Amino acid sequence: MDRQTFRDFANRRILQTTLEITGQTYPNMPIQFPPYCCLVFGEDEITIYKIVPLTNTKKSKKIYDVIAYRDIEEIEISPVKKLSFVIIALGTRLNLDLIISLSDGTILHFECEDMVMLPQLSSLLSMLQVPFKDPFDLVEVFEKSTSDRAAYDYLEENLEKIAEQKNIKLLRLTQMED
């Protein structure tokens, strides 16, 4: 798939992804959905790699796209509450919604099953002067929590209240907005 075909494809879908920051991949083992690609945050750009099915590893020679940080208008993050199965009952889990808006009008939409890397991601993007929008203050939640589990528990318990207080639409339980 060439770059333009990938962008057209990604512009119409929310792609499951893993994120790699300073050599660490998040999540290291996806639980619910196999990732389609891996976003590697480098010094000058984000490289989007194809993922090898079943192993969930990036295919080092298969690059879908390379996005220079200077071409990014904004990166926005928010939580996504998803249905999940817990042993014999339905439950919910929180995933990361990541939207990359490019200066040419292209919007790439990704979803990651992990949020623990948000303080690192925020710090990296801030250092690189990439505009970063975090309307739910997710970075602050993870920075101030005593553990990653405590941050997730806090968000599970308070997400609807936060959305209501800030008048923000909480994204979907399914793959579609209400």
pLDDT reported for residue 178: 39
Domain membership flag for residue 11: yes
Domain assignment of residue 21, yes or no: yes
Q: What is the pLDDT of residue 83?
A: 67
Query: Could you tell me the two tokens for 163?
Result: 């959305």
Task: Give me the pLDDT at residue 149, please.
Answer: 93
Give CA–CA dist 63/61, Å, rounded.
Answer: 6
- Per the structure, the count of domains in the chain is 1
Q: Is 35 domain-assigned? A: yes
Q: Does any domain span residue 60? A: yes
**22-65: pLDDT as tens digits:** 999 999 876 677 899 999 999 999 999 998 876 667 777 789 99
CB contact at 8 A, 6 and 64: yes
The pLDDT score that the predictor gives to residue 85 is: 54
Among the listed residues 96, 82, 81, the one whose alpha carbon sits nearest the alpha carbon of residue 21: 96
- Residue span of the structural domain in which 125 resides: 3-166
Stated pTM of the model: 0.87
> Residue 145: pLDDT above 80?
yes
| Cα end-to-end span (Å), the chain | 32
The answer to whether the beta carbons of residues 4 and 25 sit under 8 Å apart is no
In a domain, 176, yes or no: no
3 state DSSP class of 56 = coil
pLDDT band, very low/low/confident/very high, at 173 (cuts 50, 70, 90): very low
Would you say residue 66 lies in a domain?
Answer: yes
53-109 pLDDT tens trace = 766 677 777 899 999 999 999 999 999 887 655 555 556 778 999 999 999 999 999
Cβ–Cβ < 8 Å for 75, 112: no
Any domain includes 44: yes
Task: Identify the three-state secondary structure at position 71.
Answer: helix
Domain assignment present for 159: yes
